[in-house]
């Protein structure tokens, strides 16, 4: 069964910090051990692997930097938060993997081309190389477990860095073993194969981070799930301009929903808040949603663009109704912008037109006053 993703920020940070500190300590001890034993045991390969492990400390400190700064909330300079720092560090780690793999491949190729062999090392260097391999593999599994639990690409990159180190240690062990048995060329052949694997992983991580940095959308399956959830909210007639992106371990969504053109502002807002809450609850990847309310399809251009706003409309109505004394009793004016024109509702007290005939006549006078106004499609009078 897949692990349940825990996206609690505090838990994610604490677990990531714990993993990174364990890795820093382990890499420091391994570097010291490999370099000392490599020098004493006359193994240049083990010394080189120790220096390789030293480079992991740099990567671990990059992860610590991302953890310290990437969990900060939004501020004036970073209104969307600092999660992209994690993405940037993931890319850096991917590039490091590419560089490490390329370096191993070049070194192995040169050895094959020049028929270079290792200086015969002592047996203790082989045991240290095997111990380093086991330690690195354990660090890989521990880090990957936490990365999968919290869906952290940065920790996945760090984990694969440890796997590359384990494979590098395997190459060193093979090289030392080959030197002891007289088959040193096997080290170079294995190095090239493993280096290609490391470069492939590095390219994948760097490419994934680059896609995130340029705001590549979510997968089609996730987008279809988002559409399904939105359409399932009562009051949503349609949706358009659905946009998605990732930032760190989060997924963000922007969407325009279409609601009834005569709904109140508060009801439209309530529908939008329902859409937001359901998406964040039912689609695990989503951490925030921005919902824009529309009353019509306005993908190309809003059909009501250019229509006057309330102050101007009220000023015009005052002019249109200047010969209707009852207009001074208007209590509320409701404007609906529909299909490029205005629909207007006026609320008046029933006392100014107490009979059915009087209300009909007064309504007719108001409607006649605006019948030649092209921006107004309909005028309705409500009495109470």
How many structural domains does the chain have?
3
User: Same domain for 209 and 225?
Assistant: no
**Of how many residues is the chain composed?**
384
pTM over the 0.75 mark: no
User: Same domain for 195 and 70?
Assistant: yes
User: Same domain for 314 and 273?
Assistant: no
Residue pair 133/201 in contact (Cβ under 8 Å)? The answer is: no
| Radius of gyration (C-alpha) of the chain in whole angstroms | 34
Q: How high is the pLDDT of residue 91? A: 80
User: Same domain for 283 and 324?
Assistant: no
* Runs of H (alpha helix) within the chain: 9-40, 44-70, 84-114, 123-150, 153-181, 185-213, 220-231, 265-282, 310-320, 356-370
What tokens does 128 get?
């240290």
Task: Quickly list DSSP for 117-168.
Answer: -PPP--HHHHHHHHHHHHHHHHHHHHHHHHHHHHT-HHHHHHHHHHHHHHHH
Residue 49 placed within a domain: yes
What are the pLDDT tens digits along the chain (384 aa)?
334 434 445 676 677 777 777 877 887 888 788 778 878 876 656 666 666 676 666 666 666 666 565 556 666 665 565 566 767 777 887 888 788 778 777 876 877 777 655 556 678 878 888 888 888 888 888 888 888 877 777 678 778 777 877 877 787 787 778 777 766 566 566 667 667 766 777 788 788 778 777 777 788 888 899 999 999 999 999 998 899 888 766 788 999 999 988 888 899 999 999 999 999 999 877 888 999 998 877 666 557 888 899 999 999 999 999 999 999 999 999 999 888 889 999 999 999 988 889 999 999 999 999 999 999 999 999 999
User: Same domain for 243 and 376?
Assistant: no
Last residue of a domain, one of 294, 318, 343: 294
User: Same domain for 283 and 155?
Assistant: no
User: Same domain for 101 and 207?
Assistant: yes
Q: How high is the pLDDT of residue 82? A: 55
User: Same domain for 280 and 155?
Assistant: no
Last residue of a domain, one of 182, 213, 244: 213
Residue pair 17/67 in contact (Cβ under 8 Å)? The answer is: yes
User: Same domain for 52 and 182?
Assistant: yes
Residue 1 placed within a domain: no
Query: Cα–Cα distance between 207 and 130 in angstroms, integer?
Result: 32
Residue 225 domain boundaries: 220-294
User: Same domain for 152 and 22?
Assistant: yes
User: Same domain for 14 and 121?
Assistant: yes
Q: How high is the pLDDT of residue 102? A: 83
């Amino acid at each position: 069964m897949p692990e349940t993703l825990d996206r609690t920020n505090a838990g994610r940070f604490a677990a990531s910090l714990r993993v990174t500190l364990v890795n820093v300590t382990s890499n420091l001890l391994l570097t010291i051990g490999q370099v000392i034993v490599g020098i004493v045991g006359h193994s240049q390969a083990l010394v080189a692997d120790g220096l390789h492990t030293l480079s992991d400390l740099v990567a671990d400190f990059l992860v610590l930097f991302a953890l310290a700064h990437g969990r900060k909330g939004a501020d004036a300079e970073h209104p969307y938060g600092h999660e992209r720092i994690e993405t940037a560090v993931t890319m850096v780690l991917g590039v490091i993997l590419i560089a490490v793999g390329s370096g191993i491949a070049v070194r192995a190729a040169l050895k094959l081309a020049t028929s270079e062999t290792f200086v015969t090392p002592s047996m203790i260097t082989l045991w240290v190389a095997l111990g380093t391999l086991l330690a690195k593999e354990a660090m890989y599994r521990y880090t990957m477990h936490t990365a999968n639990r919290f869906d952290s690409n940065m920790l996945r990159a760090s984990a694969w860095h440890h796997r590359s180190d384990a494979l590098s240690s395997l190459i060193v062990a093979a090289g030392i073993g080959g030197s002891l048995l007289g088959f040193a060329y096997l080290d170079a052949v294995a190095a090239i194969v493993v280096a290609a694997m490391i470069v492939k992983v590095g390219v994948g991580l760097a490419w994934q981070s680059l896609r995130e940095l340029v705001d590549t959308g979510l997968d089609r399956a996730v987008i279809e799930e988002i559409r399904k959830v939105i359409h399932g909210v009562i009051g949503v007639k349609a949706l358009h301009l659905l946009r998605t992106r990732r930032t760190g371990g989060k997924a963000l969504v922007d969407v325009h929903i279409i609601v009834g053109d005569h709904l109140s502002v508060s009801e439209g807002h309530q529908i939008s808040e329902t859409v937001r809450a359901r998406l964040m609850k039912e689609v695990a990847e989503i951490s925030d949603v921005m919902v824009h309310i529309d009353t019509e399809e306005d993908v190309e251009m809003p059909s009501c663009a250019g229509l006057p706003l309330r102050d101007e409309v009220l000023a015009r109505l005052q002019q249109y109704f200047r010969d209707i004394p009852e207009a001074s009793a208007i209590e509320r004016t409701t404007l609906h912008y529909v299909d490029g024109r205005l629909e207007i509702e006026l609320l008046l007290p029933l006392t100014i037109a107490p009979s059915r005939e009087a209300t009909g006549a007064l309504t007719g006078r108001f409607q006649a006053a605006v019948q030649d106004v092209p921006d107004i499609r309909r005028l309705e009078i409500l009495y109470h």
